């Protein structure tokens, strides 16, 4: 083997010398390689392999190369989008079969779609999650025996306050509801300025004075925190956009490990990188689906859109597993149910709780 390598090296050097001699005889000029100083005789250096073309080019050449690269990239975008949206599992299958030039690389596609998702939410001020305050009016009985439901903007507010003559708004604020993909602040009822902030301060004061059980303290802390987040939705969603990508950095390989465990018998056919590319494709579609859901939630109720997204994402995963792993429908369906349940219970649910905690306490 060493003799063969030596012969190839000697032959290569001799070929370079012949090429240089022929170039000089033809009146040409020998240019040294900028990297290793060996004589250049072609498009690439025979010694180190660096291209002979310099990176210092005119603006015209740079624009030409940019247009060429964009045209080549753009030709893959429609194919990639069609495969991602309408052919579940095709991108991972193409990678496994070596058809890598037809589509945008999996990692680049994931980063691009997730970036578009977060930039769109930031530009449109659509909140991923928003706690909604609900006004609970008190029933006030005034001197004449009539009963009024007092709300912050109710028509009987001033009559009741005048009758009571205490200047205190008799209504409560409850924050037990959450909405997905609504514009920040659009779901708030009409409240007096600082009403939510005042409620959060009172809850915090009561929390400090409390000597109740641990469970009761946790409940009070939760009420106070959700009230603070309802008062300022941007605080929560700014943190969510920061922590979600970090969580997915862990969830992507964990999902791939889960798939590898369920297809352990096929480990000779599917390497871990194949499962990882499948995970990238599935989560990329998830971001694309959430982007569409954010737009649809401006027309329909957020809860309805969320359930539609869950059903569609589940159906997509089932079809992707069937296409990529090529097992019969029975085993694909059984593994789909098991994978979905385990992924949600042990990965998604803890990740959501962790993201919310990190968003609230660490920003």
Residues 20 and 113 in one domain: no
Domain presence at residue 310:
yes
What integer pLDDT is reported at residue 335 of this predicted model? 96
What's the whole-number mean pLDDT along residues 181-205? 57
Range in 14-28, 69-83, 156-170 the model is least confident about: 156-170
> For residues 161 and 169, is the Cβ–Cβ distance under 8 A?
yes
Residues 343 and 260 in one domain: yes
Give pLDDT tens digits for 244-279.
888 899 999 999 999 999 999 998 999 999 999 999
Residues 245 and 334 in one domain: yes
User: Rounded to an integer, what distance in angstroms lies between the CA atom of residue 311 and that of residue 244?
Assistant: 21
H/E element, 33: none
What's the whole-number mean pLDDT along residues 109-124? 90
31 lies in which domain range? 2-40
User: How many domains in the chain?
Assistant: 2
Residues 347 and 253 in one domain: yes
Residues 36 and 102 in one domain: no
* Per-residue pLDDT at 24 exceeds 70: no
Residues 99 and 36 in one domain: no
The secondary structure of residue 36, as a DSSP letter, is T
Residues 253 and 349 in one domain: yes
110-to-60, 139, 271, 322, 338 alpha-carbon distances in Å: 32, 54, 20, 22, 25
Residues 95 and 34 in one domain: no
Residues 259 and 349 in one domain: yes
The secondary structure of residue 38, as a DSSP letter, is P
Range in 76-90, 115-129, 143-157 the model is least confident about: 143-157
Domain presence at residue 333:
yes
User: Rounded to an integer, what distance in angstroms lies between the CA atom of residue 181 and that of residue 333?
Assistant: 31
Q: What percent of the chain has pLDDT over 90?
A: 31
* Per-residue pLDDT at 120 exceeds 80: yes
Domain presence at residue 324:
yes
Residues 286 and 343 in one domain: yes
CA-based torsion, 79, 84, 89, 95: positive or negative: positive
For the chain, what is the mean pLDDT?
74
User: Rounded to an integer, what distance in angstroms lies between the CA atom of residue 206 and that of residue 224?
Assistant: 10
The DSSP bridge partners found for residue 51 are 44
What's the whole-number mean pLDDT along residues 134-141? 50
Domain presence at residue 63:
no
Domain presence at residue 266:
yes
Q: % helix / strand / coil in the chain, to the nearest 5?
A: 65, 10, 25
Residues 13 and 109 in one domain: no
Closest CA to 320 of 352, 274, 354, 261: 274
What integer pLDDT is reported at residue 291 of this predicted model? 94
């Amino acid at each position: 083997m060493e003799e063969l390598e030596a012969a190839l090296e000697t032959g290569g050097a001799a070929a370079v010398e012949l090429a240089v001699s022929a170039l000089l005889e033809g009146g040409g000029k020998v240019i040294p390689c900028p990297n290793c100083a060996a004589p250049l005789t072609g498009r690439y250096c025979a010694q180190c392999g660096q291209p002979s073309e310099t990176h210092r080019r005119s603006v015209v050449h740079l624009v030409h190369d940019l247009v060429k690269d964009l045209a080549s990239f753009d030709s893959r975008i429609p194919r990639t989008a069609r495969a991602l949206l309408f052919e579940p599992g095709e991108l991972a299958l193409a990678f496994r079969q070596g058809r890598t030039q037809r589509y945008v690389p999996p990692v680049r596609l994931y980063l691009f779609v997730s970036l578009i998702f977060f930039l769109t939410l930031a530009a449109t001020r659509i909140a991923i999650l928003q706690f909604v305050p609900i006004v609970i009016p008190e029933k006030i009985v005034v001197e004449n025996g009539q009963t009024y439901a007092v709300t912050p903007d109710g028509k009987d507010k001033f009559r009741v306050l005048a009758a009571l003559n205490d200047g205190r708004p008799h209504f409560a604020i409850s924050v037990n509801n959450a909405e997905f993909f609504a514009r920040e602040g659009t779901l708030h009822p009409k409240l007096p300025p600082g009403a939510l902030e005042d409620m959060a301060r009172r809850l915090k004061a009561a929390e400090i004075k409390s000597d109740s059980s641990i469970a009761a303290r946790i409940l009070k802390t939760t009420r106070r925190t959700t009230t603070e987040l309802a008062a300022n939705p941007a605080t929560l969603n700014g943190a969510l956009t920061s922590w979600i990508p970090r969580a997915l950095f862990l969830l992507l390989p964990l999902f791939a490990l889960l798939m590898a465990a369920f297809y352990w018998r096929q480990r000779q056919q599917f390497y871990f990188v194949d499962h990882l590319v499948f995970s990238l494709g599935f989560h990329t579609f998830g971001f694309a689906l959430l982007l569409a859901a954010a737009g649809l939630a401006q027309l329909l109720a957020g809860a309805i859109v969320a359930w539609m997204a869950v059903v569609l994402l589940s159906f997509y995963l089932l079809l992707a597993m069937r296409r990529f792993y090529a097992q019969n429908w029975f085993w694909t369906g059984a593994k789909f149910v098991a994978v979905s349940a385990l992924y949600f219970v042990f990965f998604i649910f803890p990740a959501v709780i962790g993201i919310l905690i990190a968003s609230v306490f660490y920003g």
